[in-house]
Amino acid sequence: MSGTFPSSHDIYLFHQGNLFHSYRMLGAHPLTEDGLAGTRFTVWAPNAREVRLAGSFNGWQTEQHPMHRIEESGLWTLFVPGVTQGDLYKYEVHAHNGEIKLKADPYAFYAELRPNTASIVYPLDGYEWGDIAWNKNKKKKGAVVYNNPLNIYEVHLGTWKIKGKELFYTYEELATELVDYAVELGYTHIELLPVSEHPFDRSWGYQITGYFAVTSRYGTPDQFKMFVDRAHQQGVGVIVDWVPGHFCKDDHGLRLFDGTPQFEPQDPRIAEKKQWGTLSFDFGKPEVMSFLISNALFWMDVYHVDGLRVDAVASMLYLGFGNNEEDPPLNRDGGQENLEAVDFLRKLNETVFSEYPQALMMAEDSTDWPLVTGPTDQGGLGFNYKWNMGWMNDVLEYMETETHARKHRHNLLTFSFMYTYSENYVLPFSHDEVVHGKKSLLDKMPGDYWQKFAGLRTLYGYQMAHPGKKLLFMGGELGHFAEWKDLWEIDWFLLDYDMHAAMHRYVKDLNHFYQAQAPLWQLDHSHEGFQWIDADDEAQSIVSFIRQGVKKTDFLICVTNFTPATYMEYRVGVPRAGTYTEVLNSDAVPYGGSGQVNSEPVKAERVPWHNQPYSITMKVPPLAAVMFEYSSTRKAAPRKNPSL
């Protein structure tokens, strides 16, 4: 906060949409004024007739605590001596139409455990961070995040592990349990489904009432800091799902906050997200711009998170998204694009990267909007990553096809390479693909019991080989037969069964293999990092290509067989003379495979093949992904696959 009251400069910036740390001005801040310890409360309610403060400190009787309006700013403020950490409060908002409602603080930093809805006074300072080394290393890497491994474990904290119905692990407990597990499994980052305060568990955090309040389901703000801190100390980044596209209609939340559409647009065709029963933000309102951009920075400023996955970008880009109106809203140019939302996204990314150049800003966007990860000065939206929803949909549709019919759908495998460098992509197998009757990833695989597991191993191997960063939702490493059950923990008991334990080992080895192999990430977003060997073997449903590292001699030969047929002498073109050693084979026996491995290095022959000057003959196992590492004849052969 600037001085005793919000400064005129801060108020000016707030109304310009440029107060990017507005949480320092608004909300409840314990401090000392005129020698008295207490808390200053400040709220934006421009169209309210009156605002009073209710809380545990005044028996929820508001007459003694009317708030003072700061001139024509729409801001109301009050300092209350004696109010301290842990005190409950709400704003009693008197609308001009005579309605009186108790509202939670939009800038509250903590809230009661649902179903209770009061805000809680909680100071943001006082935690001593231990992640200095992590932050220094991150700054040292800077923009080269593109040229480093990025393998994300997506987690819903309420169902990763639980102690019983609605008996959750705390952030502090997860700081050990979950972080250590992510390290063991070889993930570089943990991505959390939204942890902002939300009233309904089964919204999974995507329908929010408290954008600045880390949810009390799993503990306190300081405990969440401990979670992020320990993740960093163990070398794991933390990404948080962030939801600027819409908010829920619960009466204590943002809806009609001052009795009028304050955070939402006036036009119900734009405001209503009918398919979700939520409301859009008014991106054309400068104060909403200040609110949202401040919230994005808040997670990095206060909680040290490494990035945001921005949810439902498609719903923001188009007016009346999903409403199927006969009279759809149009922008000033007569189109359906939400120009204010586009401006907001560009300003958001420009601001975040100006303060955190090494941040991850990931768009979950299902549209074909161009240049989502393009620079804003070139007409792009300014993200540095976009989820590749097209690849995900195509490859899952292909994998659900019976193996004998896959030759007729080969284009579903190859089409993604037509656009894979048009954006900086993450390849996601997220929670959205294993709910609402879509079946688990394992259950999507056709065939008998063995073939389902083999197919899933193939899918994961292909994901690792394909250009782009990686993401897998929790439970995928176990080979769940069931969909994600959003009220209970994932099926850890499956590890008692051989094939599921083997799948777990495979994912673990695959993740560590990925981190160790620079060709799989070093040139992820460059054409130089990929070369087809054979894209057209649809008859046998096999694809083969090269993943190239920075050094010309540092590359992998990647061959993936999508049918149960085994080929004992399959010839593959290679670019160099020398030795090729199998370093990954998803059909290895320890992974539950049939053991059709290439146990000895293979020497390239001067037999041109697949437009390459040399070639090797290899064993191609059934429903499997295999990778070969190159070494010249003048140096030692590369290491063998540890699973062989």
CATH code of the domain in which 64 resides: 2.60.40.10
**How crowded is the C-beta side of 23, counted as CA atoms within 13 Å?**
25
Which amino acid, 426? V
Residue 109 and residue 36 share a domain: yes
Select from 387, 411, 433 the last residue of a domain: 387
Number of Cβ atoms within 10 Å of the Cβ of 603: 12
Round to whole Å and give the CA distance between 204 and 196. 10
Instruction: State whether 179 and 328 are in the same domain.
Output: yes
Distance CA 192, CA 215 (A): 12
pLDDT of residue 302: 98
Residue position matching structure tokens 């540890």: 642
Q: Which of 387, 413, 441 is the endpoint of a domain?
A: 387
* pTM of the entire predicted model: 0.96
| Contact status, residue 78 vs residue 62, Cβ threshold 8 Å | no
Whole-number Å distance between alpha carbons of 356 and 427: 24
- 553-609 confidence digits (pLDDT tens): 999 999 999 999 999 999 999 999 999 999 999 999 999 999 999 999 999 999 999
Task: Kindly state whether residues 84 and 167 are assigned to the same domain.
Answer: no
Residue 542 sits in a domain whose CATH number is 2.60.40.1180
Residues 6+ apart with CB under 8 A from 67: 41, 43, 51, 52, 53, 76, 77, 78, 91
Are 37 and 180 within one domain? no
Give the β-pairing of 27-33 and 36-44.
antiparallel
Helices and strands, number each (H, E), in the chain: 14, 30
Instruction: Looking at the structure, tell me whether residues 83 and 167 fall in a common domain.
Output: no
My answer on whether 176 and 238 are in the same domain is yes
Boundary residue ending a domain (387, 414, 443): 387
Q: Give the number of domains in the chain.
A: 3
Shared-domain flag, residues 284 and 324: yes
434 part of a folded domain:
no
Query: Residue 623: which region, alpha, beta or left (left: phi > 0; alpha: psi -120 to 50)?
Result: left
CA distance 16 to 18: 5
**CA distances in angstroms from 275 to 197, 201, 481, listed in the order given:** 21, 18, 29
d(CA 481, CA 494): 10
Q: Are residues 97 and 232 in the same domain?
A: no
- Cα 49 to chain center, whole Å? 41
Q: Give me the pLDDT at residue 293, please.
A: 98
**Looking at the structure, do residues 219 and 73 belong to the same domain, yes or no?**
no
| Encoded tokens for 318 | 């188009």
364 is catalytic: yes
Please, where are the H alpha helices in 251-338?
268-271, 286-301, 313-317
Q: Please, is 123 exposed, middle or buried when counting C-beta atoms within 10 Å of its C-beta (0-12, 13-18, 19+)?
A: middle
Helical segments of 248-338, H only: 268-271, 286-301, 313-317
Residue 327 counted as domain residue = yes
pLDDT (0 to 100) of residue 3 = 45
Both structure tokens of 481: 């037969």
Whether residues 113 and 219 share a domain: the answer is no
8 A C-beta contact, residue 263 and residue 291: yes
d(CA 117, CA 110): 10
Cβ-contact 605, 567 below 8 angstroms:
no
Q: Give the other-Cβ count within 10 Å of 643's Cβ.
A: 19
> Dihedral angle at the C-alpha atoms of 171, 174, 179, 185, nearest 10 degrees?
-140
In the set 131, 287, 364, 423, the catalytic residue is: 364
Residue with tokens 């958001």: 348
Beta strands in 166-325 (DSSP E): 167-168, 189-192, 196-197, 210-214, 237-242, 272-273, 278-279, 307-310
Does a structural domain hold residue 455? no
The answer to whether the peptide bond before residue 221 is cis (omega within 30 degrees of 0) is: no
Which residues have C-beta within 8 Å of that of residue 614, sequence separation ≥ 6?
573, 574, 575, 576, 577, 604, 605, 606, 607, 608
> Domain for residue 494, yes or no?
no
8-state DSSP, 22: G
Cα distance between residue 446 and residue 452, in whole Å: 6
Report the pLDDT value the prediction gives residue 632, as an integer from 0 to 100. Answer: 83
The C-alpha atoms of residue 217 and residue 327 are separated, in whole angstroms, by 42
Whether residue 100 is found in the same domain as residue 164: no
* Contact indicator for 297, 307 with CB cutoff of 8 Å: no
DSSP per-residue string spanning 364-429 = ---S--TTTTS-GGGT----SEEE-HHHHHHHHHHHTS-GGGGGGGTHHHHGGGGTTTSS-EEEEE
Cα 490 to chain centroid distance, Å, stands at: 19
- Rounded to whole angstroms, the Cα distance separating 500 from 592 reads 9
Task: Report the CATH number at residue 194.
Answer: 3.20.20.80
Q: Is residue 643 part of a domain?
A: no
| Domain-embedded: residue 572 | yes
Who's near 553: CB < 8 A, 6+ residues apart? 576, 630, 631, 632
In the numeric block, the tokens 């970008």 are attached to: 313
Write out the two tokens for 400. Answer: 């659900």
Given a cut of 70, the residues of the chain with pLDDT beneath it are: 1-4, 142-144, 324-325, 633-644
Task: Say how far residue 244 (Cα) sits from the centre of its chain.
Answer: 14
Residue 400 within a domain: no
- Whether residue 267 lies in the annotated active site: no
- Structural domain boundaries enclosing 96: 8-120
Choice among 197, 229, 272, 311 that is catalytic: 311
Residues 200 and 57 in one domain: no
Is residue 604 included in any domain, yes or no? yes
**pLDDT in the model for residue 641:** 62
Neighbours of 16 (CB within 10 A): 12
Q: What is the pLDDT of residue 142?
A: 65
